[in-house]
Amino acid sequence: MRVHFLILSLLLCVMGGASVAQEVPVLKPGDLSSGTILSTAYYSGKALFGYIDGGAELYLEYGFKKLGRQQVRSSKEEIVVEIYQMAGANEAYGIFSVQRFKCVPVDSLSPNTCFSRYQLQAVVGSCYLSIMNESGTSSARQACVEIFHVIQAKVKPQPIKVQPVFDRPELASYQSGLMIAYGHLGVQNGFSEWDSLFQNSQRFSVTVLPIEFGSERLSIAHVRFASGSESADFCRLAGFAEALVGSVRACEFSGIVRQVLRLNKEELYFGEATVAFPGRQALFGLITR
C-alpha cells in the first residue's frame, strides 16, 4: 500500500509540472529559426522566492501564478526568457507598468512593450514577459524581438480594462504612461510620492495616468478601496477633511493642487498637479463629468 501511495504521489507531481508547462506559453523546439533552448524551469506561487528572493513580493501582490524561465542560445548570444503568468491581463500590465524604465515600444503594432539595449519587456495576454541578453548587440536585440513575436503568437490578446476617463481623446497621447498598482509595493515602485496617502489602507487598486509638461506635472487616478473607512482615510491624508460621496473637493498647498470625487464609499477619482500645469482645470474636469 505504501509503495502504491508513493507512486501515486510521484505521478501527481509530474502531472502538476506538466500542467504548468501547458499553461505558460514557453518556447518549444523548432519555434526559433536560429536558436536552441538550453534549459526550461518552472516556478509556481511562493516558490518564486527561490528564484528572485527579495523581489517576489511585488509579483505576488499582482496575482502571480507561474513562471516559465528559459535559457536560449541564438547566434552565439545567451538570452534569458522569463514568462510570468499573472491573475489576468490587468495584473500583467500592472507589473509591466511599474517595471519599465527608459525604453521604447518594439514597433507601432506592439504598444505594451518596452525595448532597451539589454531587455525587452512586454504584456502578452495575462503574461508579463521579460527577455534579457548579455551583450546588447544588434544581433542579440534582434533575437529578443524574434522570441517576443514567437511567444506573442501563442497567446490570445486580452484587453486592459480601465475606467472610461482614461479612454478620453484628450488623454490618448499619454496612454503609454498608464500605471496600475494592486497594493503598497506597486505604489512604491510606480509612484512612490503617493505612498503616504495609503498608509492606512490594506487592500486597494490604483490606476494612474501621469502627465509631464516641462517641469510641470499632473496625474489623474482611479482608486478602489476595500472599505469606506480606508477611502475616507485616504481623503483625509490628501488634505480633504470631509469628502462626501458624490461631492467634488479641491485643495491647494505648497504649489500643488489636488481634487477628489468620491464615486461611492469605496471608489474615487483623484487628481494632483502643479499649480502652473497648462490646461490643468480642463484635465481635472474629465474626472467630474
Query: Does 117 share its domain with 226?
Result: no
> Can you list the residues of the chain whose pLDDT is less than 50?
1-22
User: Rounded distance, CA 125 to CA 90, Å?
Assistant: 9
- pLDDT (0 to 100) of residue 21: 40
- pLDDT (0 to 100) of residue 208: 98
Q: Which domain holds residue 78?
A: 23-154
Domain count along the chain: 2
Query: Does 237 share its domain with 116?
Result: no
- pLDDT (0 to 100) of residue 289: 79
Which one of 108, 132, 154 terminates a domain?
154
Query: Does 106 share its domain with 213?
Result: no
The CATH number for 94's domain is 3.40.1000.70
Percent of the chain with pLDDT over 70: 92
Query: Does 176 share its domain with 268?
Result: yes
- pLDDT (0 to 100) of residue 3: 41
Query: Does 28 share its domain with 150?
Result: yes
The pTM (predicted TM-score) of the whole model is 0.89
Query: Does 28 share its domain with 140?
Result: yes
- pLDDT (0 to 100) of residue 62: 97
Query: Does 227 share its domain with 199?
Result: yes
Query: Does 263 share its domain with 168?
Result: yes
pLDDT one-digit tens code per residue, 6-51: 343 333 333 344 334 448 999 999 999 888 999 999 999 999 999 9
Strands 77-85 vs 66-74: parallel, antiparallel or unpaired = antiparallel
- Does some domain include residue 252? yes
Q: What's the distance, CA 21 to chain centroid?
A: 23
Length of the chain: 289
In the sheet that 113-115 helps form, which strands lie side by side, from edge to edge?
36-44, 66-74, 77-85, 127-133, 119-124, 113-115
User: Rounded distance, CA 273 to CA 213, Å?
Assistant: 11
- pLDDT (0 to 100) of residue 96: 97
Query: Does 178 share its domain with 280?
Result: yes
